[in-house]
Structure 1
Amino acid sequence: MNFSHDIEYLQEIAKKILRFSPVGVSKVIFRAKINPEGDVANFKYNYECNDGSSGWFISDSALVEEEIFCLLKKHRAFFVSQGQNLWLESMLSIDANSGKISMALKYD
Structure 2
Amino acid sequence: MRDSQAIYNDIGSVLVAAAPDNAAKIIVRAELSPEGDHCKCEFDYVDSTSGETNWFTAGAQPNADLLDLLVELRRFFVDNISSQQPSFWHACEITVDVETLRIKIDFKYAD
TM-score under structure 1 normalisation? Answer: 0.88
Per-residue displacement from partner, 1:41-92 (whole Å, max 9, x unpaired)? 10111110222122100113x1221111111100000000013411100111
Corresponding residue of 1:58: 57
Which segments of structure 1 move beyond 6 Å, counting only runs of 4 or more?
none
Structure 2 distance, partners of 1:65, 1:6, is 20
Structure 2 distance, partners of 1:11, 1:65, is 16
Root-mean-square deviation (CA, aligned residues, Å) is 1.4
Corresponding residue of 1:104: 106
Written as runs of structure 1 = structure 2, the 5 A alignment for 1:1-108 is 5-51=3-49, 52-60=51-59, 62-82=60-80, 83=82, 84-108=86-110
Contact 2:24 2:99 in 1 (8 A): yes
Q: In percent, how many aligned pairs have the same letter?
A: 25
TM-score under structure 2 normalisation? Answer: 0.86
* Secondary structure, counterpart of 2:30 in structure 1: strand
Structure 2 distance, partners of 1:67, 1:7, is 16
Q: Give the gaps of 5 or more residues in structure 2.
A: none
Q: Give the gaps of 5 or more residues in structure 1.
A: none
Letter aligned with residue 64 of structure 1: P
Per-residue displacement from partner, 1:17-37 (whole Å, max 9, x unpaired)? 111211211000111100112
